[in-house]
Amino acid sequence: MSATAAALPDKGKNFSQTRRLWCGNTFLDLTQPVVMGILNITDDSFYDGGRYLTETAVMNRTEQMLAEGARIIDAGAISTRPGSRPLPAEAETERLLPVVKNIVRNFPEALVSVDTYRAEVARAVAGEGAHIINDISGGTMDKTMPATMAKLEAAYVLMHIKGTPENMQQNPEYKDVTKDVGLFFRQQLDQFVKHGKTNIILDPGFGFGKTIAHNYTLLHELESFHDFGYPLLVGVSRKSMIYKALGTNPEEALNGTTVVNTLALERGAHILRVHDVKPAVEAIKIIALLRESRPNA
């Protein structure tokens, strides 16, 4: 056990023992990894901004991702790409509520996640049936998030970020990126657990205030975060850690994304957050077959 985990007063023991996570009114079974499909209802996201701005486009995209094997649909109304600026909370809520309502009504088999760092938005979408709140700030951009989430049944994704989307890629530095992210998890988990929140997912925040080298160090050492006892989400889909490393662009980064997702699965990722659902589902199936073939699997 790492020193980071040993210092944590309250671990996610329930998930460690059952591999199930309470998400709103549904248990999410994570005995096998699952896919979270990205639904950007923005006009400026780094890869697919502007594609899903109408109700028809949103419903068609959701149907496609579910048909390809997504278990979770993650809707976001604000771009968090490097250099992006925030949207007013009222506008964010106005964009999200009809999307959440429509998905919950039309696709009851789906778990609906909402990508927001604002407690008031989290309350509003949870009231319409959202199962997960995906917070890029891990509770640092809205100090009321721990108390708010403790009152909601929705699960909570606690992600690491250094800085804000507007400035996070301006020469980020760490003494030891894995230990520093672990310290952040320990500090922020303490805030949520003190309020009684335990259905939590951890996300190291690939690309959020990290250099390419930082990202690959985190990937290499991903297994260290299992010591916390909470499920791990990995979101690397078409990010610069892939396309810049390969000298391409987001449009050409699918193959690299699949490679990195496969490496993350080998290191125990429970949820893959992706733009391209089918390749991620296939990677999960291949890794499962590989594990089944091992002696004493």
The set of catalytic residues is 239, 273
Residue pair 231/268 in contact (Cβ under 8 Å)? The answer is no
CA distance 126 to 121: 8
Beta carbons within 8 Å of 283's beta carbon, 6+ residues apart: 258, 261, 262, 265, 272
Q: Which long-range contacts (CB under 8 A, 24 or more apart) does 44-49 make?
A: 44/79, 44/81, 44/84, 45/76, 45/79, 45/81, 46/79, 46/81, 46/238, 46/250, 47/237, 47/238, 47/250, 47/251, 47/275, 48/275, 49/79
Q: Which two tokens stand for residue 117?
A: 């760092």
Label residue 267 exposed, middle or buried (CB < 10 Å: 0-12, 13-18, 19+). middle
State how far Cα 84 lies from the chain centre: 18
State phi, psi for 296 to the nearest 5 degrees.
Answer: 60, 30
Alpha helices in the chain (DSSP H): 3-6, 13-18, 55-67, 89-106, 119-127, 145-150, 177-194, 212-220, 240-246, 254-266, 277-293
CA distance 56 to 5: 45
Torsion of CA 178, 182, 185, 190, to 10 degrees: -170
Q: Is 115 helix (H, G, I), strand (E, B) or coil?
A: strand
Q: What CA–CA distances, in Å, run from 58 to 49, 67, 69, 72, 236?
A: 12, 14, 17, 14, 22
